[in-house]
Amino acid sequence: MQRQEILKITSYHSEHGEKILQSLDVIITTGLSDEQVLSRTNKYGKNIITKKEGHGPLMLFLLQFNQPLIYILLAAALITALLNELVDSGVIFGVIIVNAIIGFIQEAKALKSIEALSNTVNTQATVFRNGQKFKIPSKDLTIGDIVLLQSGDKVPADLRLLQIRELQIDEAALTGESVPVEKKVATLETNTILAERKNMVFSSTLVTYGTGTGVVTAIGDGTEIGRINEMIASADALATPLTKQIGKLSLILLYVILGLAAVTFFIGVSRGEPWISVFMSAVALAVGAIPEGLPAALTITLAIGVSRMARKKAIIRKLPAVETLGSTSVICSDKTGTLTQNQMTVQNIFTCEKTIEVTGVGYDPVGTFQNKDLVVDINSNIALRDILLAGLLCNDSRLLGPEGGWRIEGDPTEGALLSSAMKAGVDFVRRSGEFPRLDAIPFESQYQYMATLHKDSVEKKNIIYMKGSIESILSRSNSQLLESGKIGVIERDKILKNANQAASEGLRVIAFACKKINSEIEQITHDDVKSDLVFLGTQAMIDPPRPEAIKAVDACKRAGISVKMITGDHELTALAIAKKIGIVDVAETSSVQVINGKRLGDMTDNELQEVVKNVSVFARVAPVDKLRLVKAMQNNGHIVAMTGDGVNDAPALKQANIGMAMGITGTDVAKETADMVLMDDNFATIEAAVEEGRSIYDNLIKFITWTLPTNFGEGLVILLAVVLGITLPILPVQILWINMTTAVLLGLMLAFEPKEIGIMDLPPRPSKQPVLSKMLLLRIGIVGALLCLGAFLMFEWALGQQKTVEEARTLAVNVFVLGELFYLFSCRSLRVSILKTKLFSNPFVWIGSFLMIILQILYTHLPVMNKLFHSSPISFLEWLICAGIGILIMIIVELEKKLSNDFKK
């Protein structure tokens, strides 16, 4: 049913539960009645994400033609059709259609993002209605429904919590929080940011532990997920730097071509020549000046880039994104699962006497225990042994693997403890079987600890193991376990100093203690653990950075690309990771190194633009903050790439100039919204993709620099012929032959050119930098003029030798073709001399050149081609003269390169 009204989002987190129930006219023990459900469903609609109205397939296809360069091609196709050259017209139309089909397919895929969002609420919900418990499709939920949650459930709508029992929610996909959030029911301040609203649970998040009861406060589009959907729809789909510049170049070409054609027509008519003849000359000029091969070359070069990147685990979903990578100046990265492992890992253990480093990354239980680079023997260090044993036994989670990779079933913190214990070896883990569990006290927020009672089969006693916050465990302890196994006097200040140091580095500190009790006691209460505990030590953990991400960030910074972290995690944790990865310099003494979402929300857009210039870490940010940050950087003139994997990243992924989603851990929403998907979830792949993007842009500029002199030279030939009042040296059909054959067999070979050395040592290309520099424009002018001069001289020389006009025109055509062929080798590098490029590093250039020569021989000497294109056979000497002109052009370009490089020095 189409929604008639969307409930306005209010501050439910700041209202008392009883007041909310009263305002929603519902009782927690009975829920809504059937009448209330029907009435509210009619008013608020179903609990689904509304699909946005978009263009139909036909309109989407037609919009692919709405580009200046396509207008030029359409004009070329129409003109050639009017000239009755249907084959050439068909070729150009074919190029246009292929271009449109590729664009249509890519854009249609992108529109699946909102559909993926709709699927995220396709779950079941347990509700109270009419005083009874029911399981219903989540789409049938309505405002005021009483929903019951338990471990493993996907939250079906936004709820205000009313009752909980140790409820923990995984909100990583929404807020970026790396560990499950412990929920509460207490009323919060009105201005509490989304990530801190602990009395609320949000649609599409996951229940990892405990149970809870809540009342539905928002459904469908009114939920936080629904708001993200709105932001995805409203986020600007930005044109890439190249498409903007090609658009400008196309408009300039369009105006220049039309202007020159008009001038040609006016000059001819003013001289009294037949207007039909003059019109055909103007048409010839227009056809000559139109770079028919440019759109095809652009599409094919980008497609080749897509193929190359796919081999490097980067899947491109939107073709222009290939080039955008090359001009990226800022990469905004999510932390959890992108720069980090998304697997909590114990990094050090404090035994009250010393700190022991734990090697290994993630849940994979492979690693060692070291102190000052020396391996610690677990059998001789009793304190270390008991800390690991406590983490193993006082634990409700399971570590699964290695088939399918090591993964956790339960709480990530407990998973880290299991992994660290398993690093002690199989025999150690097997020993835990000697301590069967008898009873347990679950973790409760008001106590901040968990305790388990075990039977010690060896000592024939029972023992309590505890884990929890440093404050709760330390306050209940009156002694500590020494590494020798003896009990010593507790050193509280030393323990607290170590814990505070670890916390300041962004590590999560878990403390451990034990207490031996009478073997007859098989149940425990809070009174049993309120005192007389033996403090064992602590385990400090963090979601560690990916080692390859550290190298990738360094490579990006060397390439002049700024890397910024945008995360929903805590400030200290975010800053610690940023320093380890290299986003923030460890020696950095700036007073502001990290900014949280609350401060961001208080800033104006102008203030934010200034802040993003100097700050690289943004923590506790909401989805709307990510969107604002990306826009702020774009307003500063940056080309922004955004990486992410959660639903919360989707709006910013779409707003960014290039959005990059994680292929393994990424949500469907993130993947469908992104321009590129990293199939190995490896941040290092980004650096390789940026390098490939720069190479592709470089090759596109090479093609443009190679193809425009031909169009300029052809247009100049026609213009001079009209001005001088002589026969056209080249006919329109011959111009089309030159443009289409050389573009395919010569120009497109530049798309396969390998990347040049040092391409990542250059700074990012400014977004407003024109496609062609002044140096390249000068080169295009020189080569175009040389082609025009060579063709004109050969044409006039042939006529002076009493040769037919067909022979003269064939010589002019061959000057253009062979001139382009030799110029192609100079264009393999726009900066480096042809003598310094590897001669056979691009075999396609040689293959294309060979095929072009064969084709040109057929054009010149095959009777059927002579008839179709008005050509004529020429002598071997004349072939050599045409080739000599081509070689001369190449030499002049190489001299111009040297002069330009010397001038720069």
Residues annotated as catalytic are 334
Q: How do strand 658-662 and strand 345-350 relate by DSSP bridges?
A: unpaired
* φ/ψ (deg, to 5) at 426: -65, -40
Nearest-angstrom CA–CA distance, 319 and 475: 61
Residue 659 and residue 676 in contact, taking contact as beta carbons nearer than 8 Å: yes
Q: Using CA atoms, how far apart are residues 16 and 11, in angstroms rounded to an integer?
A: 11
How many other C-beta atoms lie within 10 A of the C-beta of residue 397?
Answer: 18
3-state secondary structure (DSSP) of residue 276: helix
What's the N-to-C CA distance of the chain in angstroms? 70
Query: For residues 276-294, b (16+ Cβ closer than 10 Å) or e, as one string?
Result: eebebbbbbbbbbbbbbbb
Which amino acid appears at position 367 of this protein? G
637, 330 Cβ separation under 8 angstroms: no
**Do the Cβ atoms of 215 and 20 come closer than 8 Å?**
yes
Cβ-based neighbours of 789, under 8 Å, separated by 6 or more = none
Q: Give the Cα separation of 413 and 404 in Å (integer).
A: 21
Give one word for 474, left, alpha or beta, with left for phi > 0 and alpha for psi -120 to 50. alpha
Give the span between the Cα atoms of 543 and 341, in whole angstroms. 6
**Crossing angle of helices 684-724 and 275-289, rounded to 10°:** 160
At 864, list the tokens. 């059927």
Side chain identity at 780, as an amino acid letter? I
Q: How many angstroms separate the CA atoms of 384 and 389, rounded?
A: 9
Burial class (CB in 10 A: 0-12, 13-18, 19+), 587: exposed
Contact 342, 644 (CB under 8 A): no
Rounded to an integer, what distance in angstroms lies between the CA atom of residue 398 and that of residue 393? 11
Cα–Cα dist 368/881, whole Å? 75
- Both structure tokens of 28: 């927690």
Helix (H) or strand (E) holding 463: strand 461-468
Q: How far apart are CA 873 and CA 269, in angstroms?
A: 34
CA pair distance 403, 203, nearest whole angstrom: 31
How far is Cα 451 from Cα 533, in angstroms, rounded to an integer? 12
| Structure tokens belonging to residue 792 | 């004109």
- Rama region for 487: left / alpha / beta (φ>0; ψ in -120 to 50; rest): beta
- Going across the sheet that includes 314-316, the strands are 314-316, 676-678, 658-662, 640-644, 330-333, 562-566, 617-619, 594-596
Indicate the residue type of 441. Answer: I
The 8 Å CB, 24+ separation contacts for 122-129 are 123/153, 123/154, 123/156, 124/156, 125/156, 125/157, 126/150, 126/153, 127/31, 128/28, 128/29, 128/30, 128/31, 129/31, 129/32, 129/33, 129/34, 129/37
Report the alpha-carbon distance of residue 534 to residue 474 in Å, rounded.
9
